Structure 1
Amino acid sequence: MSGLTWRERLKHEFLLLLFAALTIVLAWIDPQPLSHYQRWLQWPTLCGLLGLMIAIQGIRDSGLVQRLAGMLVARMHSLRAVGLLLVSMTAVLSMVLTNDVSLFLVVPLTVAIGSLSNLPVLRMAVLEALAVNAGSTLSPIGNPQNLLIWQHAQLPFLSFVGHLLPAAAVMFVLVAALTWLWLPDERVALQAGRLNDRAISVSLAALSLISLALMVLMMEHGHAPLGALLLVAPFALLSWRSLLRIDWLLMLTFAAIFLGLGHFASLQAVDHALGAIDFTQPMTTYLGGIVSSQLISNVPATVLLLDRAPDALALAVAVNVGGFGVVIGSLANLIALRLARQPHAMRLFHAVSIPFLLVCAPLVYLVMRLLG
């Protein structure tokens, strides 16, 4: 799709067009002050995403990730073993580096491995999207909804981890089982001539790795806009083509999603509807968190329900399970699919993720009730 014009590419951007239309319609029927739109836009989150995209595009363009992929795949013999390794890496990294950073590291590596072997890249991207939801569930800092709930409930770190451990374990076991069953039972077939067909740009690799570390630190300390700004200047001077290759339409899609869902969640009709629901019932909190995540994504759902659900940890389980299902259940899903850059990605994701949610949700609820 790289040869298409911007207008032609927009025709393929279903989510962007959908949420842009939602934003415009809501602005027309329910006008709000500019300050509200600025809050809904989540500027720090967008800047953090931009900074990560710049750094990862630089790593891709440097040839470093392709070389790492060659080293890894040359030592593995089974597609299932490669898949389980990548899924496990994704889950573990998401616990300490957050779900989006984990995907920005692992999915490009997966794409590079796929270019050197018979690894099915799209299947792996879907599995990694599921794995990042499972892994980040365990950690208070693994994803934005956990961070919100952890800070709201003021729980000790280990207490939060202990409560979410059964849910995260069920999720990861299901992802690992799906990985084993879905990937072909074949040996890794290498395209030997491509293992070392690209030289590494040491200067660009060093700049990109430093930029990635800087961006993560700036995001952790609440300075994502400054971090993104600091990255633009050196890349504009040393690797301006990397800036051109960034998925700018993904940035616009996130902006449209934030604006549309932010406005929708603030509507009085939504507030009144939620006020009529009794969230003191465990099943109500669980289903409410999952269903609202499918409609408005799990982070806005957390903000919407946090003051209504008396059991913050039960809500944490619900909104993390709600990350499965439709692609906007967790915006990490969208990141994984866009990084993979594979045709028919959305269709395959939903064909797998929605049944996964239907299996995972009752199992997690059963385990949590038995252990609670």
Structure 2
Amino acid sequence: MNIPGLQALKRDRFFHLLLIIGVGLSLFVPFAPQAWPAAIDWRTIITLSGLMMLTKGVELSGYFDVLGRKMVRRFATERRLALFMVFSAALLSTFLTNDVALFIVVPLTLTLRKLCEIPVTRLIIFEALAVNAGSLLTPIGNPQNILLWGRSGLSFTAFTWQMAPLALAIVLTLLVVCWFAFPNKSLQYHSGTAGPQWQPRLVWSCLGLYIVFLTALELNQALAGALLVACGFLFLARRVLVSVDWTLLLVFMAMFIDVHLLIQLPVLQSVLHGVSGLSQAGLWLTAIGLSQVISNVPSTILLLNYVPPTALLAWAVNVGGFGLLPGSLANLIALRMANDRRIWWRFHLWSIPMLLWSAAVGFGLFLLI
């Protein structure tokens, strides 16, 4: 059977890089493959698998075509459409989490490409930045905030208020940049595109399965929820299960194992033991820098062993989601779904300046507040 995504995995330079890094790190830390499965965050893997099935189900139902046609009629210019998509991505990420928001907006963006001329690669990059910016506002916007909120003892409102200045500054900045990045020219529609043929039954089934899946996650039964979703599609539309890019899960597994190996390096251990004595500026730079290497969620888990869950730490690890690709797992999801080899380096042309700006403005705001 020709598994979708397998050929792409063979050409996936980021996956190859993860494998090379893993082999290199294995030379400097104890070689214990039996410990690698425990290093993988299986809840994240299972959650991603459920979201991938549900998103693919909606995509194959044709509903994104219907929604896309309505949108291109409503937004006459490229700039207005881009601003709407970027703001929607940021807004959705505040209460649906950044990963879920991407699984909604990126497939829709790819559908828009079939209807009109838009710079899809650039728009997906901005959507990735948007979910990182929007998700930092609330305790449930991303995994690192969930961890910090649980440790801080703050109420939902108090935590949100704590994050609001940074979220407002970054989202406004992103919208301003988006204004200049997308021209105010009329959308050019593709001629001869057939009318949408969609399946309402499959769309409503996906909605029902999504509710089931979210309920399972709330009950801490992610595996059961994912199995229910898979069984649902097995009877409703088997082509969904075949069409999902399951190789994305392999990329995540490799990343988790690399992080597990990296944090065992003696030099990193010595640095972490000195974190508790750092100044505010030192902790700010350490949290951001560490996020660039091992992603902001593992960075949060590590740093919470040495420093309290302060607002400074919360701001820093969220800013660390910008910059290099590993900064946030949401970056990897968005760029992988785009299925464009050029997006991997183009992403950094926007994300690195966003990191530098957010780091400078964020620390200045923190000192003022």
**TM-score when scaled to structure 1?**
0.93
Letter in 2 for 1:123: R
Hey, what does 1:237 align to over in structure 2? 235
Further displaced range: 235-244 or 180-189: 235-244
Hey, what does 1:348 align to over in structure 2? 346
The 8 Å contact of residues 45 and 224 in structure 1, kept in 2 or not, is answered as: no
**Equivalents in 1 of 2:192, 2:211: separation in Å?**
33
Equivalent runs, 1:67-78 vs 2, <5 Å: 67-78=66-77
**Equivalents in 2 of 1:366, 1:53: separation in Å?**
39
**Equivalents in 1 of 2:81, 2:202: separation in Å?**
28
Letter in 1 for 2:31: P
Deviations 1:291-333 (A, max 9, x none): 0000100000001111222352211100100000011100101
Hey, what does 2:30 align to over in structure 1? 30
TM superposition shift of 1:5:
8.7
The 8 Å contact of residues 280 and 310 in structure 1, kept in 2 or not, is answered as: no
List runs of 5+ in structure 2 lacking aligned partners.
none
Hey, what does 2:302 align to over in structure 1? 304
The 8 Å contact of residues 275 and 307 in structure 2, kept in 1 or not, is answered as: no
Letter in 1 for 2:216: M
TM superposition shift of 1:26:
4.2
Hey, what does 2:169 align to over in structure 1? 170
Hey, what does 2:159 align to over in structure 1? 160
The 8 Å contact of residues 306 and 312 in structure 1, kept in 2 or not, is answered as: no
Structure 1 residues 3 and 264, CA gap change in structure 2 (3 angstroms): closer
Equivalent runs, 1:1-372 vs 2, <5 Å: 6=6, 8-27=7-26, 29-32=29-32, 34=34, 36-191=35-190, 193-194=192-193, 197-310=195-308, 312-371=310-369
**Equivalents in 2 of 1:258, 1:279: separation in Å?**
28
Further displaced range: 202-211 or 84-93: 202-211
**Equivalents in 2 of 1:255, 1:279: separation in Å?**
33
Structure 1 residues 227 and 323, CA gap change in structure 2 (3 angstroms): same
**Equivalents in 2 of 1:105, 1:16: separation in Å?**
24
- SS of the aligned residue for 1:150 comes to helix
The 8 Å contact of residues 94 and 102 in structure 1, kept in 2 or not, is answered as: yes
Letter in 2 for 1:58: G
TM superposition shift of 1:37:
2.5
Letter in 1 for 2:127: E
The 8 Å contact of residues 52 and 104 in structure 1, kept in 2 or not, is answered as: yes
Structure 1 residues 359 and 169, CA gap change in structure 2 (3 angstroms): same
**Equivalents in 2 of 1:203, 1:9: separation in Å?**
31
Structure 1 residues 126 and 234, CA gap change in structure 2 (3 angstroms): same
Further displaced range: 175-184 or 234-243: 234-243
TM superposition shift of 1:193:
3.5
The 8 Å contact of residues 280 and 309 in structure 1, kept in 2 or not, is answered as: no
Deviations 1:335-360 (A, max 9, x none): 11122223411011011111211122
TM superposition shift of 1:135:
0.4
The 8 Å contact of residues 86 and 106 in structure 1, kept in 2 or not, is answered as: yes
The 8 Å contact of residues 328 and 334 in structure 1, kept in 2 or not, is answered as: yes
The 8 Å contact of residues 4 and 242 in structure 2, kept in 1 or not, is answered as: no
Structure 1 residues 23 and 214, CA gap change in structure 2 (3 angstroms): farther
- SS of the aligned residue for 1:15 comes to helix
The 8 Å contact of residues 56 and 212 in structure 1, kept in 2 or not, is answered as: no
Structure 1 residues 210 and 266, CA gap change in structure 2 (3 angstroms): farther
Further displaced range: 148-157 or 198-207: 198-207
**Equivalents in 2 of 1:77, 1:66: separation in Å?**
17
The 8 Å contact of residues 285 and 309 in structure 1, kept in 2 or not, is answered as: no
Letter in 2 for 1:310: P
Q: CA RMSD in A?
A: 2.0
TM superposition shift of 1:40:
1.4
TM superposition shift of 1:238:
2.9
- SS of the aligned residue for 1:206 comes to helix
